[in-house]
Chain A
Amino acid sequence: MEDSTALEQEKENQESGEEGRPWDQMTAASAQDPQPGLSEHPESEQGPDPGPQPGSSPPRSPARSSPPVDDLACPGASPPSPPREPSSTPPLALSGQHLAAPWQSDKTTSGIPEAGTPRPDHWQQSSDKGASTPHQTCQSKGNAFQQFQQTDSHLYEPRDANGNNSKQEDLRSDIFQEEDSDSQHHLDEAEPEPEPEAAPSMLEMAIQSAKAYLLKTSSKSGLNLYDHLSNMLTRILDERPENAVDIIENISQDVKMAHFSKKLDTLQNENEMLPTYEIAEKQKALFLQGNLEGADQELEDEMAEPSLPNVMESAFYFEQAGVGLGTDEIYRIFLALKQLTDTHPIQRCRFWGKILGREMNYIVAEVEFHEGEDEEEVEEEDVTDERDNGESEGEDDDEDELPRSIYKAPQPVPKEESRTGANRYVYFVCNEPGRPWVKLPSVTPAQIVIARKIKKFFTGRLDSPIISYPPFPGNESNYLRAQIARISAGTHVSPLGFYQFGEEEGEEEEEVESGRDNFEENPDFEGIQVIDLVESLANWVHHVQHILPQGRCNWFNPIQKSEEEEEEDDEEKEEEKEEPDYMEQEVGPPLLTPISEDLEIQNTPPWTTRLSSNLIPQYAIAVLRSNLWPGAYAFCNGKKFENLYIGWGHKYSPDSYAPPVPPSASQEYPSGPEITEADDPSVEEEQAFRAAQEAAALPAEENEDTEEDEDDYD
Chain B
Amino acid sequence: MDSDSLLLSLELASGSGQGLSPDRRASLLTSLLLVKRDYRYSRVLFWGRILGLVADYYIAQGLSEDQLAPRKTLYSLNCMEWSLLPPATEEMMTQTSVVKGRFMGDPSHEYEYTELQKVNEGDKVFEEEIVIRIKEETRLVSIIDQIDKAVAIIPRGALFKSPFGPTHVNRTFEGLTLSEAKKLSSYFHFREPVDLKNKTLLEKADLDPSLDFMDSLEHDIPKGSWSIQMERGNALVVLRSLLWPGLTFYHAPGTKNCGYIYVGTGEKNMDLPFML
Contact = CB atoms under 8 A, between A and B. Distances in A.
Given A241-B171, A361-B229, A275 B271 contact: no
Contacts of B207: none
Nearest to B273: A657
Interface stretch (B18-26, B67-75, B89-97, B143-151): B18-26
Nearest to A604: B102
Nearest to A607: B53
Interface stretch (A216-224, A316-324, A393-401, A519-527): A316-324
Contacts of A443: none
B170 interface: yes
Interface in B14-36: 14-24
Contacts of A324: 14, 17, 19
B220 to A, nearest CB: 14
Given A276-B234, A455-B271, A648-B245, A247 B229 contact: no
A249 B22 CA distance: 42
Interface string A624-663: 0101001100000000000000111010101111010000
Secondary structure dominating the interface of B: loop
A417 to B, nearest CB: 33
Nearest to B78: A614
A627 B104 CA distance: 12
Nearest to B242: A457
Contact of B101 (A251, A272, A280, A602): A602
B28 to A, nearest CB: 12
B172 A605 contact: no
B108 interface: no
Central interface residue in A254, A457, A614, by most chain B CB within 10 Å: A457
Given A324-B14, A656-B271, A319 B242 contact: no
Contacts of B53: 604-605, 608, 627
B274 A247 contact: no
Nearest to B17: A646
Contacts of B78: 614
15 contacts: A251-B172, A275-B233, A278-B233, A280-B233, A320-B22, A322-B20, A326-B15, A329-B15, A358-B227, A455-B274, A457-B276, A614-B78, A646-B16, A646-B17, A656-B271
A612 to B, nearest CB: 6
B102 A627 contact: yes
A250 B19 contact: no
Contact-size category for B: 35 or more
Nearest to B21: A322
B229 A359 contact: yes
B233 A654 contact: no
Contacts of A243: 171
Given A325-B17, A627-B53, A654-B101, A615 B179 contact: no
Central interface residue in A276, A322, A615, by most chain B CB within 10 Å: A322
B240 interface: yes
B223 interface: no
A357 B235 CA distance: 18
Nearest to A278: B233
A329 B101 contact: no
Given A359-B229, A630-B51, 11 more contacts: A243-B171, A247-B170, A247-B171, A275-B230, A320-B21, A322-B21, A454-B274, A646-B16, A646-B17, A654-B101, A657-B274
Contacts of A276: 233-235
Interface in B97-151: 100-102
Interface of B: 11-12, 14-24, 51, 53-54, 78, 100-102, 160, 162, 168, 170-172, 178-179, 210, 224, 227, 229-235, 240, 242, 245, 264-265, 270-271, 274-276
A613 interface: yes
A22 to B, nearest CB: 43
Given A241-B171, A329-B14, A319 B210 contact: no
Nearest to A614: B78
Interface string A361-373: 1000000000000
B21 A654 contact: no
B57 to A, nearest CB: 14
A326 B17 CA distance: 8
Contacts, number: 126
A650 B15 CA distance: 18
Nearest to B100: A654
A573 interface: no
A531 interface: no
Contact of A279 (B17, B101, B233, B275): B233
A327 interface: yes
B170 A322 contact: no
Contacts of A614: 78
Given A321-B21, A457-B242, A604-B101, A357 B160 contact: no
Interface residues of A, number: 64
A354 interface: yes
A360 interface: yes
B17 A613 contact: no
B102 A357 contact: no
Central interface residue in A251, A361, A612, by most chain B CB within 10 Å: A361
A154 B11 CA distance: 73
Q: Nearest 8 pairs between A and B by C-beta?
A: A646-B17, A279-B233, A326-B14, A657-B271, A250-B172, A656-B270, A322-B21, A358-B227
A190 interface: no
Interface string A239-263: 0011100110111001000000000
A356 interface: yes
Contacts of A656: 270-271
A456 B275 contact: yes
Contacts of B20: 322
Contacts of B179: 272
Contacts of B276: 456-457
A603 interface: yes
Contact of A254 (B162, B172, B240): B172
Nearest to B276: A457
Interface in A439-486: 454-457
A172 to B, nearest CB: 27
Contacts of A603: 101
Nearest to A633: B17
Given A358-B242, A604-B102, A322 B265 contact: no
Contacts of A275: 230, 233-234
B143 to A, nearest CB: 15
B230 to A, nearest CB: 7
A242 B232 CA distance: 33
Given A250-B170, A276-B234, A326-B11, A613 B21 contact: yes
Interface in A267-322: 272-273, 275-280, 283, 319-322
Nearest to B230: A275
Contacts of A627: 53, 102
Contact of A322 (B19, B235, B274): B19
Nearest to A650: B275
Contacts of B242: 358, 457
